[in-house]
Homo-oligomer: A and B are copies of this chain.
Amino acid sequence: MPDTQPQEKAHSPAYAHSRAHPLGRVAILGIGLIGGSLGQDLCAVGASECVTGWDSDAEALAAGIMLGAVQRAADSLSEAVIGADLLVIATPLTAIIPTLSSIAPYLRADAFVTDVGSAKARIVAEAEELIGGRFIGGHPMAGSEESGVMASSVDLFDAAAWIITPTPRTDPAGVETVSKMAVLAGARPRICDPEKHDRLVASLSHLPHVLAYGLAQMAGERVADEWVDLVAGSFRDGARVATSNAEGWTEILLDNRPAVIEAMDGFIVWISCAREAMESGDRARLSTLLDQAYRSRKRFPR
């Protein structure tokens, strides 16, 4: 093997930047659960020369500084952007494109922009209209039923998949940068095209949220206050994410409408079959349905 002389390389100007602060200067726009957690990770590992933060809510930004998620609070969106090598839009879903639109004039020509939105096809298409291949769609598969920077944590992305959704237009160097960022946040980068991403998360994230909301509603209608303490693990876990922000989830589900409707339709067929087997007392049919589902669940990590 050739001697790569890492020490010497580290001293050469071209390498000094990338070795010391592998992501250069990062700006996080939107300091909530995801932006705050990412900021904490990047600050903790010194991934950025300076993690600049911006949020329309000054309190969230102040909390971000206090929690070590942000090193410098920008006074304005444009100020956050100037000089940044990598911008991470971590706003709610509906604000992603408006935010990108606002910052586009201030972006350096070689800066990359990524986001953390839960649905990708529309966002990536609209973002490419605005800034072309410098936009790299991203979606960390981690979250919480809580929201806001106070719920952020340096552990949030540990071992989680961080889906990156390039298109033929996407700059490969940008994909590399965002992958590096995901790794520095403790996650596993996974490359997937936007449409496939949307179909996958419809059943792995969006349908579970719909079912959790529906379960919470059913129990709420049928269980009086004096009995709510009977809940056990299956309800607690099954309906856990029903305390996720309802407005935010309305937008996510609508943004991924065709794939979510397809998954919901599949589910309605399945549960109608199970109901029919129950009604007719068809033990064998019900048992087969549950057993197939059991085998299916076993294919996924616990």
Contact = CB atoms under 8 A, between A and B. Distances in A.
A263 B217 contact: no
A302 B233 CA distance: 10
Contact of A208 (B199, B200, B239, B295): B239
A40 to B, nearest CB: 18
Contacts of A283: 250, 254
Interface residues of A, number: 93
B253 A264 contact: no
Interface string A171-214: 00000000000000000101010000001111111011111111
B264 A294 contact: no
Contacts of A253: 278, 286
B142 A232 contact: yes
A220 B296 contact: yes
A234 B208 contact: yes
A105 interface: no
Interface in A271-302: 271-272, 274-275, 278-279, 281, 283, 286-287, 289-302
Interface in A253-275: 253-254, 257, 260-261, 263-268, 270-272, 274-275
* Top-7 shortest CB links A-B: A220-B296, A216-B297, A213-B293, A242-B297, A246-B290, A208-B234, A208-B238
Interface of A: 141-144, 160-161, 163, 188, 190, 192, 199-205, 207-223, 225, 227-244, 246-247, 249-250, 253-254, 257, 260-261, 263-268, 270-272, 274-275, 278-279, 281, 283, 286-287, 289-302
